[in-house]
Every structure is written in C-alpha cells, then in structure tokens.
Amino acid sequence: MVRLENVYKTYRGKAEAVAALDGCTLTVSPGEFVSVQGPSGCGKTTLLLVAGGLLRPDAGRVTLDGHDPYALPPEQRARVRADGIGFVFQRFHLVPYLTVLDNVLSASLARPSGEARRRAMTLIEHVGLTPRLDHVPAELSTGERQRAALARAMLNEPRLLLADEPTGNLDPASGEAVLKHLADFAEAGGAVLLVTHDVRAAEYAGRVLPMADGRLAQD
C-alpha cells in the first residue's frame, strides 16, 4: 500500500539543519496495522507527512499503490490523497460551526451525494456517535471529537489510514476506543500507519517500530 525506501528529510534553519528522517525504509501492506513509536521530535510526524504525499522528501523514494505521488502534479497528488488516504490528527481539525454529520460529510468535498450521506450515517453509528449527530464540536467530549474525525477520515473508503498521535488528547477509555477502530479498519483489509508515543498502541498493532533521531529500528 505504502512504501518508503531510504528516505531522507532535513529541515534547514538559519542556525542549524535538523535531520528529521535519516534513511528510513518502511512498508505497510493491506491488512496491516503498523505503529511507529518514539518521543517527541524523533521524526514521527515528518514520516507520516512524507508517506501521505504531503511533504516531499529530500532523497529516497515513496510509493503509494506502486506509484510515486511526488511524480504527479499537485492537483493529481491531492486527488490521490482524497481518494485513497484518510488522515487522523491529534487536534481533530473539525469545523467548529458544523455538526458531527456535516463534519463527516466535509470529506466528500462540495457536493456530498446521497450515498455519501448514507455512508456518513453508517460510520457515525459505527463510532457510537448517533446520539450526537446534530451536535457541534464544542458540545462533544474530546473522545467524541476524535471519533468524529475518524469517521470523517473513513468516509471516502480510503485504503490507507495515517494517524498522528490520535490518542494524545484522550482519556484511557477513549484512547482504547480509537485504537480499536483503527485495528478494525486493518482487520477489514485496510492499511494503518500510526505514529505515537502511546505504548498502548502495541496491544493493537501488528508491528511496532521504535523510532529515534530520525531513524527507524527493526520490529
């Protein structure tokens, strides 16, 4: 589904250069749940952005479904992301004035179809938010907001979910619920790449890869 081969990424400031990725190689196949674990600043988020076609690496190769997204024009690369990848972030990124239903439907762009609405309702039920259907984010708990964001990420039936610290703001029970939903997605044939410092993820992921100083260790 997604493969990184000997990928490098350096951030260059006025005073110094920081090697965020230092020769990382990683493959995540359909049906896999891979968790990359490490402390803040080790390169986890950079790894996720590069894997998702959002941040071009300095060197190395990235392939999604066997194709290099960075060889495409920006518009086509955006379409690849919209059609095949779901993103889940620590800070949810829900639209504050939209209801749960409309936030989930926002993934279908400007013209949500009847089928998109039916799928949104099914996903909202799956993550246990049907009673909150018409609530805006300010009326939800942090766990409910993350579950709404997860439903939005799955609306377009992505083949790959990329999750960046999705349990970082959650209480233990809510964090467990989100990890279970990610595991269910992988069990159904999707691919999941999670970056986190949450050790609980190891209970759900099929592979756990430690990361430090821009380098990925073995399983």
Question: CATH code at 207?
Answer: 3.40.50.300
**What's the pLDDT at 111?**
54
In a domain, 127, yes or no: no
Q: What does the angle CA 133 – CA 139 – CA 142 come to, to the nearest 5 degrees?
A: 95
**What's the pLDDT at 103?**
92
Query: pTM of the prediction?
Result: 0.88
Beta bridge mates, 56: none
Amino acid at 86: G
**What's the pLDDT at 66?**
86
Tell me: the pLDDT tens digits for 35-80? 999 888 888 999 999 999 999 999 999 999 889 999 999 989 988 8
- What percentage of residues in the chain have a pLDDT greater than 70? 97
In a domain, 99, yes or no: no
In a domain, 32, yes or no: yes
In a domain, 12, yes or no: yes
In a domain, 71, yes or no: yes
In a domain, 140, yes or no: no
Cβ neighbours of 75 (radius 10 Å): 7
Interhelix angle 172-187/142-154, rounded to 10 degrees, is 10
In a domain, 175, yes or no: yes
User: Whole domain around residue 78: which residue ranges?
Assistant: 2-93+158-216
Q: How confident is the model at residue 91 (pLDDT cuts 50, 70, 90)?
A: confident
Domains identified in the chain, total number: 1
